[in-house]
Structure 1
Amino acid sequence: MGILDGKRILVAGVTMDSSIGFATAKVAQEQGATVLISNFGRALGITRRIAKRLPTEPPVLELDVTDPDHLARLPELVREHVDGLDGVVHSIAYGNPETLLGGKFLGGPWEDVAQAVQVSAYSLKSLATAAQPLMGPGGSVVGLTFDATVAWPAYDWMGVAKAALESTSRYLARDLGPEGIRVNLVSAGPLKTLAAKAIPGFEELDSMWAERSPLGWDNTDQAPTAKAVCALLSDFFPATTGEIVHVDGGFHAMGA
């Protein structure tokens, strides 16, 4: 018996089997959930292929969280497979690495910054409200962040976008709380995902964790982060919302 027995979970933004979204879908299935995953555009074909590597091949939905038509039809697409949702995972972020990352903060053009904020932060609100008609009391929305309380080497405008994501999650927690829907984030340490490979200077961030995390940090292991996401999707945190749970080996708590 798993902690997600009977739960219906949508994991939005699954591209590669090295992603946190994929690991979350896997752990959720192992814990008894019925899982749906989503992607869009050219990445949709990749998602359909890697879906076969999960314990149970899930339905793959086409969903671009920046497209109003996609968001409007989400309830219809979900209901083709399940009659509602108990949880939604936001595993979505994008910032143009050529203009916004790797020491390019002062030169980042607004057009690219706006795209990064829309895709990485505003989309949490877009996804949550699109899924709202499918959810009820006890529902849970969980997003993924990278600690935005400080300025990091190389992360630049994605750090700003993550700060917007963290603030968005708190306002969503306020406005969806009366409906019994929780909204939380998991802040993971650096992991070798497709997104990380796009960050110039990622190795500099990565090396800090190896030296300063009291529990140590394996940047190839998405399972601890996925387990935290699934815990927040479960009924084990019924009175927790607006929270950011750190899964980073304890790095965030160390001063030096």
Structure 2
Amino acid sequence: MGILDGKNILVAGVTMHTSIGYKVAELAQQEGATVIVSNFGRAMSLTGRVIKRLDPVPALIELDVTDDEHLAGLADTLREHVDHLDGVVHSIAFANPETALGGRFLQTSWPDVGQAVHVSAYSLVALAMACRPLLGRGSSIVGMTFDATVSWPFYDWMGVAKAALESANRYLARYLGPDGVRSNLISAGPIDTLAKKAIPGTEEFNRVWGERAPLGWSTTDSVPAAKGVLSLLSDYFPATTGEIIHVDGGLHATGS
């Protein structure tokens, strides 16, 4: 019997097998969950191929978290597969690498900033509200962040978006708590995902973690972060909400 036995979990934002979202889906199935994954547009075909590695192959739905029509129809789309949700995983972020990342912070225009905040932060709230009709007491929302308490080289407006995400998580915890719905984040160390590789200069993150993480850190191993997500989806944190759990080898607690 697994820690997610009998639970229905939506993992939003699965693209490559190297992603944290994919590893969450894989481990959640192993822990007894029924998993649904999402992506949208041209990435749907890529996701469809990637999830064929999973057994059983999870249902794949199209969901653009910035599309009001997709969000409005999400509950009905999910009902085609499950009658309720026990967990929602938000593994979604985007900032234009050519304009909003890589040291261009002072030159980024509002449309690119707005896109980063919309996709990477506001969408957590939008997704939660779209799923709310299927969420009951004891259900859990889990998002992914990257320590936004400091500025990072090259991370720029994604760092600002993650700060907004962390604040949005606290407000979700406030407003959904009376319904028994928890909202928490995992703050993971750098993982060599497709998204990270799109950010210019992120090899600097690997160097910092390699030198300073007390427990050490593997940038090619998404299992620790995924296990953190699973723990928050499970019933083992029944009174924890609005929290940010660091899964980063301990770097957040160390000085320079």
Q: TM-score, normalised by structure 2?
A: 0.99
Partners of 1:102 and 1:50 in 2: CA distance:
29
Matched position secondary structure for 2:41 = coil
Aligned to 2:157: 157
How far is the alpha carbon of 1:205 from its aligned partner?
Answer: 1.3
Aligned to 1:183: 183
1:6-54 per-residue CA deviation (whole Å, 9 max, x = no partner) reads: 0000000001111010000001001000000000000011111111111
Partners of 2:55 and 2:224 in 1: CA distance:
18
Aligned to 1:126: 126
Aligned to 1:79: 79
Partners of 1:227 and 1:27 in 2: CA distance:
8
1:73-103 per-residue CA deviation (whole Å, 9 max, x = no partner) reads: 1111111111110000000000000001111
C-alpha RMSD of matched pairs (Å): 0.5
Matched position secondary structure for 1:138 = strand
Aligned to 1:60: 60
1:170-208 per-residue CA deviation (whole Å, 9 max, x = no partner) reads: 000000000000000000000100010011000011100
**Structure 2 unaligned blocks of 5 or more:** none
Specify the code of the residue in structure 2 equivalent to 1:105: F
Aligned to 1:224: 224
Q: Kindly, what percent of the aligned residue pairs are identical?
A: 67
How far is the alpha carbon of 1:55 from its aligned partner?
Answer: 2.6
Aligned to 1:113: 113
Matched position secondary structure for 2:138 = coil
Aligned to 1:255: 255
Matched position secondary structure for 1:97 = coil
Specify the code of the residue in structure 1 equivalent to 2:62: E
Partners of 2:55 and 2:252 in 1: CA distance:
33
Alignment of 1:189-228 (within 5 A): 189-228=189-228
Matched position secondary structure for 1:9 = strand
Specify the code of the residue in structure 2 equivalent to 1:188: A
Partners of 1:55 and 1:241 in 2: CA distance:
31
**Structure 2 residue 93 is the aligned partner of structure 1 residue 93:** yes
Aligned to 1:242: 242
Partners of 2:161 and 2:183 in 1: CA distance:
18
Q: TM-score, normalised by structure 1?
A: 0.99
Partners of 2:231 and 2:101 in 1: CA distance:
32
Aligned to 1:12: 12
Specify the code of the residue in structure 1 equivalent to 2:91: S
How far is the alpha carbon of 1:157 from its aligned partner?
Answer: 0.5
Partners of 1:205 and 1:20 in 2: CA distance:
17
Partners of 1:181 and 1:252 in 2: CA distance:
27
Matched position secondary structure for 2:161 = helix
**Structure 2 residue 39 is the aligned partner of structure 1 residue 39:** yes
Aligned to 1:29: 29
Partners of 2:231 and 2:30 in 1: CA distance:
13
Specify the code of the residue in structure 1 equivalent to 2:241: T
Matched position secondary structure for 2:98 = helix
Partners of 2:250 and 2:56 in 1: CA distance:
33
Partners of 2:131 and 2:112 in 1: CA distance:
27
